[in-house]
């Protein structure tokens, strides 16, 4: 009888480990998928930036430093390897884009350009998509991190190498999309 009870307890423990492990895997995969969605939107943003820079450059060719700052910030953002590096790079890029749009406001002909207005609209839409994707990623990360850090799943997480994930946070002054005016 004690052997049967021990086997039942052992079976329940093994089953619990399997259930918790599978939940951790699902949550990790959900977080990875959410980050992929953020990455897709960031790539869309990076693809729009050269077009916007070229549009402004045609009207304000003497503002070389602003263009270089935007291109440099874009390159840094594209090369970011971790969520923390990505957040820092996105903060720099948002600041550079704000300076670019502030410069563009000084050129009424540019503001009247249909191509430039369309690019601004696409960028504003992309910024909104990034915001939504970032929120979904952070929500997925919160659920995953809670599971990794709470008992009893933290024991299983520790045994199998599940680690907490970083949130995709941005600075307070970079929380809004670059201002787009027509």
Identify the weakest region by mean pLDDT among 79-93, 106-120, 162-176.
162-176
- Give me the pLDDT at residue 106, please: 86
**Structural domain containing residue 65:** 24-174
Number of domains present in the structure of the chain: 1
Q: Report how many helices (DSSP H) and strands (DSSP E) the chain contains, helices first.
A: 6, 0
Whether 98 is covered by a domain: the verdict is: yes
Assess contact for 77 and 46: CB atoms under 8 A. yes
- Give me the pLDDT at residue 173, please: 53
Q: Is pLDDT at 65 greater than 80 in this prediction?
A: yes
Q: Is pLDDT at 175 greater than 90 in this prediction?
A: no
Identify the weakest region by mean pLDDT among 18-27, 76-85, 110-119.
110-119
Alpha carbons 32 and 40: distance in angstroms, whole number: 12
Whether 13 is covered by a domain: the verdict is: no
Whether 16 is covered by a domain: the verdict is: no
The percent of residues above 70 in pLDDT, for the chain, comes to 94
The pLDDT of 52-56, averaged and rounded, is 90
The pLDDT of 96-118, averaged and rounded, is 88
pLDDT tens digit string along 129-167?
A: 999 999 999 999 999 999 999 999 999 999 999 999 999
Whether 66 is covered by a domain: the verdict is: yes
Whether 6 is covered by a domain: the verdict is: no
Whether 1 is covered by a domain: the verdict is: no
Whether 182 is covered by a domain: the verdict is: no
List Cβ<8 Å contacts ≥24 apart for 63-67: 63/103, 66/96, 66/99, 66/100, 66/103, 67/100
Joined tokens for residue 78: 């594209």
Alpha carbons 63 and 161: distance in angstroms, whole number: 50
- For residue 81, the domain's CATH number is 1.20.1440.20
Assess contact for 23 and 156: CB atoms under 8 A. no
Instruction: Give the Cα-Cα-Cα angle 135, 76, 55 (nearest 5 degrees).
Output: 90
Whether 65 is covered by a domain: the verdict is: yes
Identify the residue whose tokens are 């991190």.
145
Stated pTM of the model:
0.85
- Give me the pLDDT at residue 172, please: 57
* Cis upstream peptide for 170 (omega within 30°): no
């Amino acid at each position: 009888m004690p052997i049967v009870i021990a086997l039942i307890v052992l079976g329940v423990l093994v089953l619990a480990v399997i259930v918790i492990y599978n939940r951790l895997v699902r949550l990790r995969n959900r977080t990875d998928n959410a980050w992929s969605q953020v990455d897709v939107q960031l790539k869309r943003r990076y693809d729009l930036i050269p077009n916007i820079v070229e549009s402004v450059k045609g009207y304000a060719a003497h503002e070389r430093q602003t263009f270089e700052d935007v291109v440099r910030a874009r390159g840094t953002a594209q090369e970011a390897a971790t969520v923390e590096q990505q957040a820092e790079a996105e903060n720099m890029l948002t600041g550079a884009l704000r300076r670019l749009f502030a410069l563009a406001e000084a050129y009424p002909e540019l503001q009247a350009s249909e191509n430039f207005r369309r690019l601004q609209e696409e960028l504003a839409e992309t910024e909104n998509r990034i915001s939504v994707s970032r929120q979904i990623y952070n929500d997925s990360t919160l659920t995953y991190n809670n599971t990794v850090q709470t008992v009893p799943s933290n024991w299983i997480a520790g045994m199998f190498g599940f680690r907490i994930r970083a949130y995709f946070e941005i600075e307070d002054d970079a929380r809004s999309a670059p201002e787009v005016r027509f």
